[in-house]
Structure 1
Amino acid sequence: MGVSFASRVVLITGASRGIGRAVALAFARERALLVLAARSAERLAQVEGEVRALGAEALSVPTDVTSPDEVRALVNAAVSRFGRIDVLVNNAGIGKVGCVESETFEDNVRQTMRASLFGMINVTQRVLPVLRRQGSGAIVNMSSVMGRKAFARFGSYAIVMHGVSAFSDNLRQEVADGGIRVSVIYPALTATDLLREANEAEMPPPFRHMTPLSADAVARAVVAAVAKGKRRVVLPRMANMLLLGEALSPRIGDLIATALTKQRIARLFRMSNGKTYHETIAGYPG
């Protein structure tokens, strides 16, 4: 990779499962020092054990990213233990499925906004003074392809992921003079618990037969983005065609989104070539 993460301090939110866990293990293999944050102390302890089994050091701090006091304690614990923070991975968040006419839509937006955007802002604001003092650092914000192109029935999540995109673009420009780099990761559907509670009929139409990315693939992209200073990463690469179409014309973007509801088209885009989302996560612990 050309960049050593040995002894660099990486703070990861939402680290107890899914992409966060995979990111923690990916950086552990690079011999980074890990600060793991999530609400579940039990799950964090399990991931910490996995990190240590790979020969890396870790500090677990149960944290609700929507709580300013808990985030303050998290950052203080990281600096007290390791003296610095080199990489912040903002991964904590939730997602809910439902159409705009649903009675729960407005509440879904509020809940997702609080956890996935305001939580991200909260952690970033606490970490930035540390990075400023150091004169260096990297921030990785987890968004989604939905952060560039919304799909039907996933509007509440897409609204927030668009917010993550705007926040990240703004932040990148504001901190560029401080030696701080900002990367945004835009994965398509990924094999995590995000949509476990949604039944297949409720899923956004293009997702119903789509083969999800692995959390490990997303984690490798995060490590590479930090190593190479990438501003934006879209996964899989073919998803860029959807985003390009949307950038050219909303009509083209909508046509591609509609086309992806057909399995043969999704296969052509290399986004349907195995098990569906629910088939993939069926064997995962709840």
Structure 2
Amino acid sequence: MPAFFKNKVVVVTGASRGIGQAVALAFAREGAHLVLAARSVDRLALVEQEVRRLGAEALSVPTDVTSPDAVAALVDAATSRFGRIDVLVNNAGIGKVGDVESATFTDDLHQTLRASLFGMISVTQRVLPVFRAQGSGAIVNMSSVMGRKAFARFGSYAIVMHGVSAFSDSLRQEVAGGNIQVSAIHPALTATDLLREVDEAEMPPPFRHMTPLSSDAVGRAVVAAVRHRRRRVVLPRMANMLLLGEALSPRIGDLIATALTHRPIAAALGMSRGQTYHQTISTTLRPARQSR
């Protein structure tokens, strides 16, 4: 039987590394055609080679999602090459760590909003007319566990991820009945370059001993979310406990977040099973100088 995504056209932003790269390769294994978007020309070329080695077609389009002209060129390139777009994965973005009282907090927030939220909105607005014209489509918005529960020292990132969650929820209702699905993905700490430059002691307290998810696991979850039309996915499943506690009471959510700062408790909950984030990225990821 043909694969579910055979010859489907999938656009992935932030595709040059990390989760974006893993998502692209996961769809390539399913037989999809990939449109790869990111700022780094060199890194995109490497991911395109990986996609082609898996037997899938690929088109690389260097794109800064904060530029309306670049976003328009991305969508035009995808439709010109393949005639349609079936899946949009909004993954491009950045993250900053720092206290609310830090001198850079406001600037960090503005930068993150521009790249991670307004860029996502811009790409989505450009792709939606394509979906409506062809009568189908799927949008996947990459948020975070912090899109439902904020942690100390990650306020600017959490504000933006909450925005991504709200945007996804609103959009899902607006396109209901039009055969356009919207999925929001909420991974916990993942082994990507996002926090590579952050000193371990400056990490949000629960993250300091947490074992990160692999990008490949998140990539597989994205494919499954589209295949099974899932509206919201939280990774790992145990993180749902934190979000349930937060939904019941902020006091309970804060107590769980505080409990996760203690390694024995995090280990008992399956959130600390081996290497920490910094130990993982030091042994598995490419040098940080190769920017997204």
Same fold? TM cut 0.5: yes
Matches within 5 A, 1:14-53: 14-53=14-53
Give 2:116's aligned residue. Answer: 116
1:181 maps to 2:201: no
Instruction: Tell me, in whole angstroms, the C-alpha distance in 2 between the residues paired with 1:149 and 1:224.
Output: 24
**Shift in Å at residue 3 of structure 1?**
6.2
Distance in 1 of aligned mates of 2:50 and 2:172: 32
Give the C-alpha shift of residue 25 in structure 1. 0.3
Partner of 2:233: 233
Alignment of 1:210-229 (within 5 A): 210-229=210-229
Q: Does residue 1:154 correspond to 2:147, yes or no?
A: no
| Alpha-carbon distance in structure 2 between the residues aligned to 1:271 and 1:220 | 19
Q: TM-score scaled to structure 2, two decimals?
A: 0.97
What is the rounded CA distance, in whole Å, between the counterparts of 1:93 and 1:248 in structure 2?
30
Identical-residue share of aligned pairs (%): 79
Unmatched runs of 5 consecutive residues or more in structure 1: none
Q: What do residues 215-268 of structure 1 show as CA deviations (whole Å, max 9, x unaligned)?
A: 000000000000000000000000000000000000000000000000011111
Report the Cα distance in structure 1 between the residues aligned to 2:85 and 2:23, rounded to whole angstroms: 16
Aligned to 1:24, the other structure's residue is in SS state helix
Deviation string for 1:129-157 (max 9, x for gaps)?
Answer: 00000110100000000000000000000
Secondary structure of residue in 1 paired with 2:223: helix
- Residue 175 of structure 2 aligns to a residue in which SS? helix
Distance 1:185 1:277 in 2: 20
3-state SS in 2 of match to 1:100: coil
Deviations 1:158-204 (A, max 9, x none): 00000000000000000112110000000000000000010001100
The equivalent of 2:242 in structure 1 is 242
User: Are the equivalent residues in 2 in contact too, given 1:141–1:184 (CA < 8 A)?
Assistant: yes
Residues 243 and 226 from structure 1, CA distance in 2 versus in 1: closer, same or farther, beyond 3 angstroms? Answer: same
Q: CA RMSD in A?
A: 1.0
Match runs of 1:59-78 below 5 Å: 59-78=59-78
Change (3 A) 1:53 1:102: same
Q: Count matched residues.
A: 286
Structure 2 portions without partners, runs of 5+: none
Amino acid of the structure 2 residue aligned with 1:167: F
**SS at 1:278 equivalent:** helix
Question: For residues 151 and 180 of structure 1, what CA distance do their matches in structure 2 show?
Answer: 32
Given that residues 3 and 227 in structure 1 are in contact (C-alpha distance below 8 angstroms), is that contact kept between their aligned partners in structure 2? no
Contact 1:266 1:272 in 2 (8 A): yes
Match of 1:80? 80
Instruction: Give, as a single letter, the amino acid of the residue that structure 2 aligns with 1:193.
Output: D
Give the distance between the partners of 2:88 and 2:207, measured in 1 at CA: 30
* Bigger mean CA offset, 153-162 vs 264-273: 264-273
- Structure-1-length-normalised TM-score: 0.99
How far apart are the structure 2 equivalents of 1:115 and 1:271? 29
Deviation at 1:2, TM superposition (A): 9.5
SS in 2 for 1:153: coil
The answer to whether the 8 A contact 2:3-2:30 is kept is no
CA distance in 2, matches of 1:181, 1:169: 11
Within 5 Å, give how 1:264-279 maps onto structure 2. 264-279=264-279
Runs of 4+ in 1 over 2 A off after TM superposition: none
State the match for 2:106 in structure 1: 106
Q: Distance in 1 between matches of 2:240 and 2:4?
A: 29
